[in-house]
Structure 1
Amino acid sequence: MNSRFTVLTTFCIVALAVLGTLALAVYASDAVSERQQRQQVDEFSNRALLRAELVSSEAETALRQLVRYDGTPCSDDHLKQLRQTEEQFRYVREVGWTDGVKLRCTSARGRVDTALPAPEWTSAAGFTAWQTETGKRGNERPMFNVRLGDHVVVIDPRFYLDIVPLDNTIELAVLETQDGTIISRSPGADHELLRAALQRNTNNAYFERRYYTVERSHRYPIAVVAYEPEDRVRRNPLAQLRHVLAPALVASLLGTWFVMRWRRKLRTPRNAILQGIRQRQFVAWLQPIVSLESGRCVGAEALVRWKLEDGSVIAPDTFIAMAESLGLIEPITDQVVHSVFDGAGSVLARRRDLHVSINLAGEDLVGTRVLDTLKDCFRKYAVRPEQIWFEVIERMLIDTARSTPALAAYRAAGHRIFIDDFGTGYSSLSYLQDLPVDGIKIDRSFIRSYAKGEEMNKIVPHVIEMARSLDLAMVAEGVETRAQADYLREHGVQYAQGWLYAKAMPADEFLRYLERESARAREA
């Protein structure tokens, strides 16, 4: 009897100790994870507010720029000004002018005669705003209209929430703070819950079985509301203990392993990019560059893509700026270089007439680290330095004293240097003379209008003449029509890239593209 009692007592003490340890571990783990999960919701809403303020700032800047126009409304000159404003601002989808009663002309539709809706809300700065529906019947989507004075800009509400998701269970929305009208929201966001959360006095709390946070803008009458199911933020410790009650000793080890594994999956943006770097998820897609004289492909531009484990691909606009701000752009550049050689190194070794152009970030201009990365690739694939070109965005070259030595070192190693997006920054003749470069890339925004049957942007002839006076090669970006290509060829531009020829594609598709082109050449 005593022996049995001792065994039972010992078992109970050990069981209590194990269960107590598990309970403490579960409680501590839940407390830590809840704090991290709440911080993630808060960070997500903060990033969304930054994006919403950026979009609102573009709309404000565009409108204040248009207010200064003192010409004849809806004249040809005015319509040209409206179109230039639309092209200048990334998030503006259309620009219009109204006489206060009707919309009289827009950048996309020219002269119109459309009744002006009543504004849904106003701001102290004189702005009014309202929402409209656009698109074919049955496939409408909302658009956001902002007016200052007699001008109106139209913004796609999706731009307000165009950020990398941190968690697929976080719901998000941008609301107007006067009456809680929703400007943009994620597909699963509850309209009534969002407005109720906005009306509460607290910025973050548990409400309706969800954890929510509210970020209000100090610049504009907008706010971001984000929420996540409460059971995703904080768990029920007793419910977890019931799953590990019987196999207590084994469950203590498995539970610790599970918690650590679960915590590792809580990824911040920095961790997500770092994991992408560790798993070599950043790859180069290649967009053909074509000779305008012969029509043959002479090379390609390497464009980085983030290929996730599930096979989905993220465009660079989503993560490049974040990687630069976090100081992680250099390893991404290195992965792009290796991806170029892994995908196209063999064809570059066979065809000396081909080149691949790689984009350099601002950090890559601090030194010549990329040249060291290239050395191993050259030895492995027998590719020549003159087959690797580099592109540098114009705004990164403002400090010529900082960038010139690095550019000179790249050229001395046998590489050609091109200025990307030329004409969108501080381009000038003296500026080009001071830089050791071989050519320029004409930004797509300057030739876009020609595809719509309009005249070529007046900047293009000056850019071409500037490049020709300095004997610089030229590549035109965004060529989509034969008329654009003919104009550029007739005016002395040597190369072009754009959807007229091919979109950016994985390396294996690019190799098939070259094979098809060679087959057509043989048949011809």
Structure 2
Amino acid sequence: MSSRLTALTTYCVVAFAVLATLTAAVYASDAVNERQQRQQVDVFSNRALLRAELVTSEADSALRQLMSYPDTPCTNDHMQRLRQVEEQFRYIREVASTHDMRLRCSSLHGAVDIALPPPEWTYAGGFTAWHTEVGKRGNERQMLNVRLGNHVVVIDPRFYLDIVPLDDTIKLTVLETQHGAVISSWPHTDDALVRAALQRTGSPYFEGRYYVVERSSRYPIAVVAYEPEDRMRRDVPAQLRTLLPPALVLSAIGTWLVLRWRRTLRTPRNAMLQGIRRRQFVAWLQPLVSLESGRCVGAEALVRWKLEDGTLVAPDTFIPMAESLDLIEPITDQVIRSVFEGVGAMLARRRDLHVSLNLAGKDLAGTRVLQTLKASLARYGVRPEQIWFEAIERTLMDTASSAPVLEAFRAAGHRIFIDDFGTGYSSLSYLQALPVDGIKIDRSFLLSLASGEEMNKIVPHIIEMARSLDLLMVAEGVETEAQAQYLRERGVQFAQGWLYAKAMPADEFLRYLEREAARTRET
């Protein structure tokens, strides 16, 4: 065999081996990609259905509560009942009463007389629903109205799909299943496609796109999610034709890129772990003001997830996910670190100021947080009494296990407050059993105090309960001077809310304190 033929044969064998390896790698990579992407859409659609069922459940519960109202509609007592139901449920924006086919009064607008539009769909149990548009011309948005009997609840349809997207190509829609009416959908979603998917008996399936249909077993609603098929299934021959000329050189590089790409597939857990590794969880501070002096005496640290593009994710979105994934502890540690990096030096200078840190249920399982905090206190020269802690009321129901932990925090020199007090199972005996220094009155109890209206009737009882136990009180969500005056006259010591300032980054909070100090010097 001539040297030329030997070289050609060797080249063909090597080229075949490289091409075979490259083909296997491409096919394997695409198979893994499809499986992972399909799983991602499946999980995402299931999360969307859980949120849709939660919102629907609130509407159902609110309307069934109102059905039992026995007296004359649209009286002062009835209007107060409508407002109470609106405040009770997180996703309900307005509650109204009807007679025949006309709207007679609502929790937001009082007495009205408006003809009701025909329902877009009906379903078992006497429920009807329709959309209406609100807002100024050119900036309208739709609201969902659900009616049962003589009452209507109004919900922002965006609540049905208020979840963090895993990528920018997934499309999502919530429909009712009897008539195929769209309840809520993401922008640029094709209604005709999702209605057609709803009629299919098998799910998931491919038809130019990857479709998943999740039907609720509790309500006549379904979630349809779809993603372009080319994101799931790639054109393998085209890839091979492109890679064939440089195959001998690029086969190893291609394998490395595939492995790297596989590691970086996005899932909720990976996204959160990446945020923790990159220290993207930061503390914003909302000033806490003394109602007697009107001066700032501290701040509450509120966690924000700051993404690489500068977008801020609110805690309501990611805290439940972090707790379910058992990642809340490293986030708490980052909040503590962020607080001290931002305002630790200021706390060392201003012994009259404090910062409140929120404790999750996992943080109350032991005293790990104290060990984390101890190093920061020593490093920045901050006193323990300048760090307060807040625990949500529902995490303290088991007083036998939570009381010793809270006592350890107090023994270390920290004050303990019960956050969102009044929204759980508040009672005098419950408070007496817990070693706490104060309570925070939930913002929902202050919403009714506006021009000409009375404070929620629960507030005086909460204040009296706290005073009887000699507990400090902080009112959340104070937005008007009338609210502040009401609380001041009844002995509430502290307040926070938009009347004074919104939550802000640490550098803005330092400037806020400088401006306050300058005003004090001028007076």
User: When the two structures are superposed, what TM-score results if normalisation uses the length of structure 2?
Assistant: 0.99
Partner of 1:62: 62
Return the alpha-carbon distance in structure 2 between the equivalents of residues 264 and 357 of structure 1: 38
Partner of 1:136: 136
Return the alpha-carbon distance in structure 1 between the equivalents of residues 100 and 158 of structure 2: 27
Aligned CA distance change for structure 1 residues 452 and 333 (closer, same or farther; 3 Å): farther
- What's the offset of the Cα at 1:267? 1.4
1:300-379 alignment runs, 5 A limit: 300-379=299-378
Return the alpha-carbon distance in structure 1 between the equivalents of residues 295 and 241 of structure 2: 69
- What's the offset of the Cα at 1:239? 1.6
2:438 pairs with 1:442: no
Return the alpha-carbon distance in structure 1 between the equivalents of residues 241 and 351 of structure 2: 68
Partner of 1:165: 165
Greater shift in the superposed pair: 271-280 or 380-389: 271-280
1:233-244 alignment runs, 5 A limit: 233-244=232-243
Alpha carbons 1:400, 1:434 under 8 Å: kept: yes
Return the alpha-carbon distance in structure 1 between the equivalents of residues 259 and 95 of structure 2: 52
- What's the offset of the Cα at 1:262? 2.0
CA distances 1:217-270 after superposition (whole Å, capped 9, x unpaired): 111111111011111111111122223212213311221222122223321111
Return the alpha-carbon distance in structure 2 between the equivalents of residues 185 and 269 of structure 1: 21
Greater shift in the superposed pair: 241-250 or 499-508: 241-250
Instruction: Give the letter for the 2:97 counterpart.
Output: W
- Root-mean-square deviation (CA), in Å? 1.0
Return the alpha-carbon distance in structure 1 between the equivalents of residues 199 and 241 of structure 2: 39
Instruction: Give the letter for the 2:405 counterpart.
Output: A
Partner of 1:399: 398
- What's the offset of the Cα at 1:451? 2.9
Percent sequence identity over aligned pairs: 76
Alpha carbons 1:451, 1:480 under 8 Å: kept: no
- Give the secondary-structure state (helix, strand or coil) at the position aligned to 1:448: coil
Return the alpha-carbon distance in structure 2 between the equivalents of residues 249 and 461 of structure 1: 80
1:83-98 alignment runs, 5 A limit: 83-98=83-98
Greater shift in the superposed pair: 379-388 or 140-149: 140-149
1:32-51 alignment runs, 5 A limit: 32-51=32-51
Instruction: Give the letter for the 2:276 counterpart.
Output: I
Return the alpha-carbon distance in structure 2 between the equivalents of residues 408 and 94 of structure 1: 42
Instruction: Give the letter for the 1:386 counterpart.
Output: E
- What's the offset of the Cα at 1:143? 1.0
Instruction: Give the letter for the 2:326 counterpart.
Output: G
- What's the offset of the Cα at 1:326? 1.2
Return the alpha-carbon distance in structure 2 between the equivalents of residues 155 and 452 of structure 1: 25
Partner of 1:111: 111
Return the alpha-carbon distance in structure 1 between the equivalents of residues 18 and 499 of structure 2: 68
Return the alpha-carbon distance in structure 1 between the equivalents of residues 201 and 354 of structure 2: 60
Alpha carbons 2:123, 2:178 under 8 Å: kept: no
- Give the secondary-structure state (helix, strand or coil) at the position aligned to 2:97: strand
2:181 pairs with 1:203: no
CA distances 1:6-31 after superposition (whole Å, capped 9, x unpaired): 11111111111111101001001100
Partner of 1:248: 247
Partner of 2:179: 179
- What's the offset of the Cα at 1:494? 0.6
Return the alpha-carbon distance in structure 1 between the equivalents of residues 510 and 259 of structure 2: 44
- Give the secondary-structure state (helix, strand or coil) at the position aligned to 2:300: strand
CA distances 1:125-169 after superposition (whole Å, capped 9, x unpaired): 221111111112222211111111111111110000000111111
Instruction: Give the letter for the 2:112 counterpart.
Output: V
Alpha carbons 2:63, 2:153 under 8 Å: kept: yes
- Give the secondary-structure state (helix, strand or coil) at the position aligned to 2:211: strand
2:416 pairs with 1:417: yes
Return the alpha-carbon distance in structure 1 between the equivalents of residues 315 and 69 of structure 2: 36
Return the alpha-carbon distance in structure 2 between the equivalents of residues 452 and 49 of structure 1: 40
Instruction: Give the letter for the 2:256 counterpart.
Output: W
Alpha carbons 1:100, 1:116 under 8 Å: kept: no
Alpha carbons 1:175, 1:181 under 8 Å: kept: yes
- Give the secondary-structure state (helix, strand or coil) at the position aligned to 2:448: helix
Return the alpha-carbon distance in structure 1 between the equivalents of residues 102 and 265 of structure 2: 51
2:462 pairs with 1:458: no
Aligned CA distance change for structure 1 residues 52 and 426 (closer, same or farther; 3 Å): same
Alpha carbons 2:146, 2:152 under 8 Å: kept: yes
- What's the offset of the Cα at 1:452? 4.6
- What's the offset of the Cα at 1:461? 1.0
Return the alpha-carbon distance in structure 1 between the equivalents of residues 224 and 32 of structure 2: 23
Alpha carbons 2:328, 2:360 under 8 Å: kept: yes
Task: Could you tell me which runs of 5 or more consecutive residues in structure 2 were left unpaired when the two chains were aligned.
Answer: none
State the number of aligned residues: 523
Partner of 1:508: 507
Alpha carbons 1:477, 1:496 under 8 Å: kept: yes
Q: Which runs of 4+ in 1 moved over 3 A?
A: none
Return the alpha-carbon distance in structure 1 between the equivalents of residues 321 and 450 of structure 2: 33
CA distances 1:463-489 after superposition (whole Å, capped 9, x unpaired): 111111111111100010111111111
Instruction: Give the letter for the 1:205 counterpart.
Output: Y
1:467-506 alignment runs, 5 A limit: 467-506=466-505
CA distances 1:32-64 after superposition (whole Å, capped 9, x unpaired): 110110111111111101100000000001011
Partner of 2:11: 11
Alpha carbons 1:447, 1:456 under 8 Å: kept: yes
Aligned CA distance change for structure 1 residues 253 and 455 (closer, same or farther; 3 Å): same
Return the alpha-carbon distance in structure 2 between the equivalents of residues 500 and 387 of structure 1: 24
User: When the two structures are superposed, what TM-score results if normalisation uses the length of structure 1?
Assistant: 0.98
Alpha carbons 1:479, 1:497 under 8 Å: kept: yes
Return the alpha-carbon distance in structure 2 between the equivalents of residues 125 and 38 of structure 1: 36
- What's the offset of the Cα at 1:437? 0.3
Instruction: Give the letter for the 2:70 counterpart.
Output: D
